[in-house]
Amino acid sequence: MCGIVGYVGSRNCVPIILEGLKRLEYRGYDSAGIALVKDGLFSIDKKAGKVADLVQHLSHYNGSLSAQLGMGHTRWATHGEPNDINAHPHWDSEEKIAVIHNGIIENYSTIKTKLVREGHVFRSATDTEVLAHLIEEMYKRTQNLASAVRHALAEVEGTYGLVVLSTHESDRMIAARKGSPLIIGVGDGENFVASDAAAIVDHTRQVIYMKDGEVAEITATNIRTMTIDDEDTEREIEEITFELSQIERGGYDHFMLKEIHEQPETITNAMRGRLQVDEGTVVLGGLRDVQDKLLKARRIVITACGTSWHAGLVGEYLFEEIARIPTEVEYASEFRYRNPIINSDDVVFLISQSGETADTLAAGREAKQKGATVLGIVNVVGSTIARESHGGVYVHAGPEIGVASTKAFTSQLTVLSLITLMIARAKGTITEKHAQVLSQELAAIPEKVSRILAKTTEQIKEIAEEFRNAQNFLYLGRGANFPVALEGALKLKEISYIHAEGYPAAEMKHGPIALIDENMPVVFVVPKDGIYEKVISNLQEVKARRGRIIAVANEDDHEIEELADFVIRVPRTYGYFGPIVNIIPLQLLSYYMAVARGTNVDQPRNLAKSVTVE
């Protein structure tokens, strides 16, 4: 959630760290700080607000700030409000040890009480500060920074990705990871540490993904990784797979808009080399070793959070209707704490863009421990969920920087469709002919998405202008488009702060209908499918109560004009693949609503991109 970047080498690290922080800002953005070690002394600056506020604050150095060892942090507050004091880095009593930290130290209060009793004076309200003081105590005993960090971490409960610098040993960084991602960037005569490859890809493509429980001692020319008990660990250097251009805005006003527009390409990438349209077959290398388990699965459980959970709901329709496997979808945060009944012939899918979401990760561990086959549908290559799963499929959407997830969602849906086709063909729940038709339908989706983007944008901008002052929105859909309604509502509330609810259209009359009057905009997702007439009845019910209707309807639907105030046209698509297409106008609507209201689209208040705390 927060961002970490560190450097040791021979270059001036100030621009490297500040540039890295800007690239990480999408992860958490309520304050930022930088610590530099030079001539045996620390210089630490921190500021509430954006990285730009920190940069502005640093201007009082008149460009004289420079060091070859340093680290920076962007914070998303957990303990203590976002102000200058609570921003990271945090020091020990003597200002000789500084720490930046992502995650939560759960037993910080007990440790703090003990340290206060021993005479330590705390400056901030954060859990992180206890680490600095604890390491200070351990350093007194060990006189070795790496050992002091290891000993301190042995007393800590909770999660962390952290970096420690000290003027005692001013040629090295100590990094440690448990539950919060951390990578080491390997350079030539210089090394980096970061919570996300985006921060360092400018400088190196060679990285080591730190494992949970690992500590690293990093100098300009050497990297040693070890366990908390000082056992050396194996290091594997891997290559960053994305390009710098993928993490830049490339002429768009916001990352979210860029990512919405990337979807024809990202959906294609999700299918590339996997879908054989003419044969109606699917090859998914990451599932080869677990194919048998998947085909024999008694039940599929999909667990995820937020937008990825919505993708899971569509997955339930796909798996049950086409592959005929009983499927349940559960919030990861609920699943992990309710002692679920899991058998060895269950397959549990974890869906996650980041691959680091704490609840999803914990749900996967729980399922694994109970003997299930655990499979990931993940975007970020090398992420923890990807590594810990028995198998899985990358969605290949490329880096998603906008906090509101868009392209990852449609890629998740595409991958779920591919997995469904693969199972259905192998189990014979659909014929070869049917599979070929479905494959053609899938292959046609990127072109349909391009068409929607080209044809609806201007109209959606006008609708956004019309409703920019709305206080509430209702989103309704049925069948596989019910999750689309949920996702449309989530997108709207996330970035424009308008209260929005998604409902199955027929549920409306069991309560939400009380909300409907001439001030309530209601978005209907109403494609011409088997339940079209039913949704139209629900739409009539809203119209009768003077609700204002925005319909997402097919290009050949001529009835709808009479009923809806606004009709956004989408091409017809095979029912269960429809959500991939139907969500596009809702993403655009939330984007242009936010722009019309002047909110910060890419960094909406209170949110963070990757939720690595419970």
By CB under 6 A, is residue 354 in contact with ligand F6R?
Answer: yes
Phi, psi of 525 (to 5 degrees): -100, 110
364 vs 224: CA distance, rounded Å? 30
Per CB under 6 A, the list member of 305, 318, 329, 418 interacting with ligand F6R is 305
Catalytic residue among 46, 407, 491, 609: 609
Q: Residue 268 or 610: which CB sits closer to ligand F6R?
A: 610
| Residue 391 C-beta: closest distance to ligand F6R, Å | 18
Tell me the window of 227-235, 353-361, 477-485, 529-537 that interacts with ligand F6R (CB under 6 A).
Answer: 353-361
Nearest approach, Cβ of residue 490 and ligand F6R (Å): 6
Nearest residue to ligand F6R by CB is: 306
161: contact with ligand F6R by CB under 6 A: no
Contacts of 563 (CB under 8 A, 6+ apart): 536, 539, 540, 543, 549, 551
Positive or negative, the CA dihedral 263, 595, 309, 209 is positive
Task: Give the neighbor-by-neighbor strand order of the sheet with 173-178.
Answer: 90-91, 97-102, 160-166, 173-178, 214-218, 223-227
Q: How many C-beta neighbours within 10 Å does residue 371 have? A: 12
What is the maximum alpha-carbon separation in the chain?
Answer: 80
609 noted as active-site residue: yes
Among 166, 353, 389, 603, which residue interacts with ligand F6R (rule: CB under 6 A)?
A: 353
User: With binding defined as CB under 6 A, does residue 306 bind ligand F6R?
Assistant: yes
**302 beta partners:** 329, 349
Give the residue with the Cβ less far from ligand F6R, 65 or 595.
595
Near ligand F6R by CB under 6 A, which window of 173-181, 304-312, 554-562, 595-603?
A: 304-312
Taking alpha carbons only, the member of 374, 411, 365 closest to residue 392 is 374
- Residue from 218, 302, 421, 611 touching ligand F6R (CB under 6 A): that is 611
Using alpha carbons, select from 13, 379, 378, 394 the residue that is nearest to residue 194. Answer: 13
* Residue 268 binds ligand F6R (CB under 6 A): no
Stretch that binds ligand F6R, among 18-26, 295-303, 351-359, 546-554 (CB under 6 A): 351-359
Q: Which of 180, 486, 443 is nearest to 308 (CA)?
A: 486
From the list 6-14, 86-94, 349-357, 510-518, the region that binds ligand F6R by CB under 6 A is 349-357
Kindly identify the residues of this chain, within the stretch 524-583, that bind ligand F6R according to CB under 6 A. Answer: none
Count Cα neighbours of 524 within 13 Å in the Cβ-side half-sphere. 33
Residues 404-443 that bind ligand F6R (CB under 6 A): 404-405
* C-alpha–C-alpha distance, residues 570 and 456, integer Å: 9
Nearer residue to ligand F6R within complex by CB, 22 or 310: 310
Residue 102 binds ligand F6R, judged by CB under 6 A: no
String marking each residue 457-496 x if it binds ligand F6R according to CB under 6 A: ---------------------------------x---x--
Closest CB 36 distance from ligand F6R, rounded Å: 32
Structure tokens at 313: 């709901």
By beta-carbon proximity to ligand F6R, the closer residue of 89 and 312 is 312
Q: Are strands 472-477 and 521-526 parallel, antiparallel or unpaired?
A: parallel
Residue 207 CB, shortest distance to ligand F6R, in Å, is 20
Q: Which residue pairs, CB below 8 angstroms and at least 24 apart, start in 228-237?
A: 228/150, 228/153, 228/154, 228/176, 229/150, 230/147, 230/150, 235/208, 236/208, 236/209, 237/186, 237/206, 237/207, 237/208
Q: How are the residues of the chain apportioned to helix, strand and coil, as percentages rounded to the nearest 5?
A: 40, 25, 35
- Gyration radius from the chain CA atoms: 25
Closest contact distance (angstroms) between CB of 412 and ligand F6R is: 8
Contacts of 280 (CB under 8 A, 6+ apart): 421, 425, 432, 433, 434, 435, 436, 437, 438, 439
Q: Determine the Cα–Cα distance for residues 292 and 285; give it in Å rounded to an integer.
A: 13
Which of these segments, 135-143, 352-360, 364-372, 389-397, binds ligand F6R (CB under 6 A)?
352-360
Q: Which residues of 414-438 are buried (b: 16+ CB within 10 A; e: fewer)?
A: bbbbbbbbbbbbeeebbeeeebbeb
> Would you call 565 helix, strand, or coil by DSSP?
coil
- Of the residues 2, 178, 293, 493, only one is catalytic, namely 2
Asked whether position 308 contacts ligand F6R by CB under 6 A, the answer is: yes
Nearer of residues 218 and 380 to ligand F6R, judged by Cβ: 380
Is 13 catalytic? The answer is: no
CB of 262 to ligand F6R, least distance (A): 16
Residue 124 or 357 having the CB closest to ligand F6R: 357
383 binds ligand F6R (CB under 6 A): no
Residue closer to ligand F6R by CB (options 306, 502) is 306
Closest approach of Cβ 306 to ligand F6R, in Å? Answer: 2
Q: What does 170-185 look like in DSSP terms, one character per residue?
A: TT-EEEEEEBS--EEE
Please select the residue that binds ligand F6R; options are 102, 124, 128, 357, rule is CB under 6 A: 357
Binder among 74, 166, 352, 411 for ligand F6R (CB under 6 A): 352
SS3 call for 439: helix
Is residue 360 close enough to count as binding ligand F6R by CB under 6 A? yes
Strand partners, 178: 160
Q: Which residues bind ligand F6R (CB under 6 A)?
A: 305-308, 352-354, 357, 360, 404-405, 490, 494, 610-611
Q: Which residues are catalytic?
A: 2, 609
